[in-house]
Amino acid sequence: MTTARTMAAGVVLLLTAACTAQTPPRAQPSATAAGGSAVCAEPRGNPPPETPTTIDVVEQAYFCILANYYSGATLDARSLLSAGFTAFTQELNRSGRDSPEATMPALTGDREADWAAFEAAYRRVTDRLPDDAHLRERLAEATLQAIVAGLGDDHARWNHGGRRPPASYDGDQYGLGLRASAGPQVSVNPGTALPPLFVTDVLGGPAKAAGLRPGDVVESVNGSAPFIGQAVTPAAVAALYPRYPEAGPVRLRLLRQETGRRWTVTLKPGLYQPDPAAVQVVTSELLQDGIAYVRLSGFAPDVANRVFRAISRMRTGRTLTGVVLDLRGNGGGSPDEANRLLGGFAHGKITAYQCTASLSTGDDACAPMRTDDSVPLLGLPLVVLTDRGCASACEHFSSAVKDLHLGQLVGTRTAGAVSGPARPYLLGDNTTLTFPSTRHLAPGREVIDRVGVAPDHHVPPTPQDAAAGRDPALDEALNLLHK
């Protein structure tokens, strides 16, 4: 029982890697930009090394979004161009190169004409800049990043500058070596975080070397309070999750409540080998009275079969009375794996809808996703543990369990980060743009994105429980199954 009870509700969001790895096949519409820029297409194999981002790449991304994004047919593209030009002028200002020519052109709603006006204004400014390739690239990068962010979509990303740390090996992780009660997704959905901020897991590396423990309350990050009242400070929380090549030291002011000790520690991000038990995709344990406990950290390929095998092993020679699926901190992954796992608890059910906006009607055209009925039914009562780290395919699974009455949810509301399965598109600078081509709706056709899935039994984590190794959400799950 030690393994299960000491797993705190840490939050790790794995959306980018999980969502770009799998999505249903779909015909590729043309995405030729005005002026003849190359179409965007799905990457084939490993792309060549990245080249500098230019306004031509920004153009390609703009028209790629309009042609392939799930609401691209009805999207008001002026919002994207406004966001892009705002970022462009802000980067000019930061560089000390603001210009009287940097004025947003009037936009009419004609997508191609508006792009032509945008590009003309952009080039009027950049043509007068010094011959500084680095500055020009920063301007294009800021513009493109803002256009993607203008979608307001948690599954839309521009992936660039991705590099592995030198001397890293498979299994290595980079960062501070901790998880906290609020994860990096707070920058997308700040309402997911509640005070206090505390350590939930120590994975290894700098955090372990500094003696941090689950339950340690983080009172400040680099001198900033992680919460002001009930409102989170996203930048402070994000500093706990540096990504390579971010290497700046992170100074934490900590409180260990059980002893009253307050101290400051400085952690420098680096490579480390995490505790294997903390990063396994599937872990399982037979609990009291024949209850199977299975923790699932992500919906990776073949994960449903691994869950079924774990339950089958625990069932050998004994009678199981229920299943606890622990999806806390599950950042998502394959919707096909979610449907396959759901097939163990129900057959012939719609688990979600994938929808696209229709230009002719303005309504969504939706295709159902269904349980994988090739899977034998387990025939066991189910309780699912959720938290704000349960995102994407995890929310697909959780909302189906709730809507279809397949079991009960215990813990806290999920992340609200399930806009739709993302697809990757290769751009001319060999970077990738990922965004959903369809929009996710739950089985009852309700929107889960940004809202999350509410648990049937609300059992929030506390630093005191984390410090003591208690797991009240799991205790509540066991109580429900015993009833």
Question: Residues with Cβ < 8 Å from 215, sequence gap 6 or more?
Answer: 198, 199, 256, 257, 258, 463, 464, 465, 466, 467, 468
**Cα separation of 392 and 449, whole Å?**
9
**Amino acid symbol at 97:** R
Give residue 99's pLDDT: 95
Q: From CA 231, how far away is CA 87, in angstroms rounded?
A: 25
Query: Rounded distance, CA 353 to CA 312, Å?
Result: 31
* Residue 151 near residue 157, CB atoms below 8 Å: no
Mean pLDDT by 10 residues, the chain (483 residues): 35 36 37 53 87 97 96 95 98 96 97 98 97 97 98 94 80 94 83 92 96 98 96 96 94 97 98 86 96 97 98 97 97 97 98 84 81 98 96 97 98 95 95 96 96 97 97 98 91
Q: Which residues contact 7 (CB under 8 A, 6 or more apart)?
A: 201, 295, 326, 328, 471
Cα–Cα distance for residue pair 368/355, rounded to 1 Å: 9
Residues 260 and 256: their CA atoms lie apart, in Å, by 6
Residues 6+ apart with CB under 8 A from 358: 73, 74, 364, 365
β-bridge mates for residue 114, sequence order: none
Tell me the CA end-to-end span of the chain in Å, nearest whole number.
20
pLDDT, residue 469, reads 96
How many Cβ atoms sit within 10 Å of the Cβ of residue 227? 18
Backbone angles phi, psi at 206, to 5 degrees: -60, -40
pLDDT at 153: 94
Residue type, 258: E
Q: What pLDDT is stored for residue 182 in this prediction?
A: 93
pLDDT in tens, 81-103: 999 999 999 999 999 999 999 99
- 3-class DSSP state of 305: helix
User: Which pLDDT score, from 0 to 100, does residue 240 have?
Assistant: 97
pTM, two decimals, is 0.88
Confidence (pLDDT) at 162:
72
The one-letter amino acid code at 48 reads: P
Q: Which two tokens stand for residue 11?
A: 């939050």
pLDDT in tens, 143-176: 999 999 999 999 999 999 877 788 888 789 999 9
Q: What is the pLDDT of residue 168?
A: 83
Our CA dihedral for 276, 14, 467, 385, rounded to 10 degrees, sits at: -100
Task: Count the residues in the chain.
Answer: 483
State the Cα–Cα distance between residues 337 and 397, nearest whole angstrom: 9
pLDDT at 11 (0 to 100): 33
Q: Are 329 and 376 in contact (CB under 8 A)?
A: no
Bridge partners of 369, per DSSP, are 352
The answer to whether 447 and 71 have CB atoms below 8 angstroms apart is no
Q: How far is CA 70 from CA 19, 75, 392, in A?
A: 15, 9, 16
The packing angle between helices 335-342 and 303-315, to 10°, is 30
3-state DSSP assignment of residue 447: coil
Of 269, 278, 276, 268, nearest to 214 by C-alpha is 278
Would you state the pLDDT for residue 187? 75
Cα gap 353→327, rounded to integer Å: 21
SS3 180: strand
CA 135 vs CA 125, 138, 166: distances in Å = 12, 5, 27
- Return the pLDDT at 38: 56
What lies within 8 Å, CB to CB, of 197 at 6+ separation is 180, 181, 182, 217, 218, 226, 227, 237
Q: What pLDDT sits at residue 36?
A: 40
Residues 281 and 296: beta-carbon distance below 8 Å: yes
- Confidence at residue 335, expressed as pLDDT on a 0 to 100 scale: 96
